[in-house]
Amino acid sequence: MSIEILVPEMGESVVEATVGRWLVEAGTAVKAGQPLVELETDKVDLEVAADRDGVLAEILVEAGADVKIGDVLGKLEAGQVAASAEAPTPKEKSEPQKSADSEKADAGEKAVAEEEGVKATPVARRMAEDAGMDVAKISGSGSGGRVTKEDVEKALAARAAPSPAPSSAPPPVIPPSPSLFTRPGAEREERVRLSRRRRTIAQRLVEAQHNAAMLTTFNEVDMSAVMDLRTRRKESFEKQTGVRLGFMSFFTKAAIGALKAFPQLNAEIDGDEMILKHYYDIGIAVGADEGLVVPVLRDADRMSFAQIEQSIRELAKKSQDGSLSLADLQGGTFTITNGGVFGSMLSTPILNAPQVGILGLHKIEERPVVIGGAIVARPMMYLALSYDHRIVDGREAVQFLVKIKELIEEPERLLLEG
C-alpha cells in the first residue's frame, strides 16, 4: 500500500518550509518512527518520520525546494522490503524481461529500479523506454545520481531541439573588446544558498523597518554596583542554585520594572487599536550558527534571578544544538539583545515585530566619568532602546531607559520594582 509523506503542521504562523536533506535514499527499508527528511523553517528545523514500516519508494521533492503544509514529499510502500533484497518473479519463464518490468510498474511498484548499475525511478525508466532512449545515457539529478522524470523530460526536449546547421568554415574568432571588464579571479567566488531561517530573518527585518516608525534612543549606565554585588555573591549564588550569576538576570528584572512603569512598551498595534499586555514574556536574542533566534522567558516577572539564569542557559544550549521548539520561540512582549558579548560598543537594534520595543546591551568599558567633581574610571555600558514611535513618544522612551539606568545602578531596587 502506497502512503504519501506529507509536510506536517508546523505550529502557529509557520506555513512554509524548505527541504533540508533526505536522511534515507529511495529504495531503503525504514521502520515506523524513523526520521526520513529534515525540514527547515524560519524558526526551527524538524524531522518528518515514517508512519509505519516499509520502503521509501519515491522522493518527489529534492533538497533545497520550498514546500507548504500538506505538500507531498515522497511515497512510502507500507509492508514492503528494500528493492535490493527482493527478487522479481516473472509470471512465465517464456515471458520476456521487458514484460515483467512493465507488469511491476503497472502494479504500482515504486522502489528504485536498478539495471546494470543505473538508478532510475520507475516512471523515468518507463518514459525512457517508451521514447526509445537508453536510460543509462541520461544524466541523473536525483539522490545518488538517480534519473528522475524531470531528467528524462529534459533529455527528450534536448533531442527534439533542431541541430544547428553545419558550417563549412569555423566561426570567426572575435577578440574581446578592451572596454569589457572581466574581474580577475572571479573563479574564487562562491554562491551559497540562503537557509530558510536566514531568508526569513532578512524578510522580517526589512518588514520591521518598513512597517514601523522606528527610532532609537541611547543612555549609559554605571555597572559598578552590579559588578560589585556579583563579585561578592557569585560563589554563594552558584553553590546555592547551581547556576552562575550573570548580567542578563539583572537587565531582565530591570526591563520588567521599566515596562511596568511604561506599559506602552509592552504592547503591540492591531489596526487602530493598541493591545496592552499585562504579562511579561521577555525574548532573549541568541546568536546561532544559522542565524539569530529569540527564545522567550514566559512570565519572567514571576521568575527568580536563578530561574532566569537557568532558563537563559538552557535556551542558549538548545539554540546551539538545534533542539529549540516552536513553543520556545512563539510570542514575546519585549526583547533584549546583548551585542556586548561580541564586543559591540554601540548599535541600533531592529524591532522584533509585532513588539514595539527592544533593548540593546553593549560591551562594558572603563571610561572616565565625573562624580562629585572628580574624574574617575568607572565600568560603563551604553544602552540602546529602539521603539515604535507610532505608540511610544520620545519622552516615554527616554524615561524608560532612565528607569533601567536607575535600577541597575541601585540593584537593591530590583527586589521592589523588578
Residues in the chain: 418
Instruction: Report the C-alpha gap between 98 and 71 in whole angstroms.
Output: 34
The dihedrals phi and psi of 180, each to the nearest 5 degrees, come to -85, 130
What amino acid positions are annotated as catalytic residues?
Answer: 389, 393
As beta bridge partners, residue 54 has 30, 78
Amino acid present at 375: I
Q: What is the CA radius of gyration of the chain?
A: 31
Determine contact, residues 286/332, Cβ cutoff 8 Å: no
Helix (H) or strand (E) segment spanning residue 157:
helix 149-160
Q: Cell triple for residue 26?
A: 529511495
Please, which residues bridge with residue 381 across strands? 221
How does DSSP assign 18-84, residue by residue?
EEEEESS-TT-EE-TT-EEEEEE-SS-EEEEE-SSSEEEEEE-S-TT-EEETT-EEEEEEET---GG
30, three cell numbers: 525504514
Residue 274's SS3 state is strand
Distance CA 366, CA 223 (A): 10
- The whole-angstrom separation of Cα 39 and Cα 9 is 12
Identity at 157, one-letter amino acid code: A
- Which residue from 144, 213, 222 is spatially nearest to 382, judged by alpha carbons? 222
Instruction: Collapse the DSSP code of 167 into the 3-class scheme (helix H, G, I; strand E, B; otherwise coil) and give the result.
Output: coil
DSSP structure class, residue 392 = -
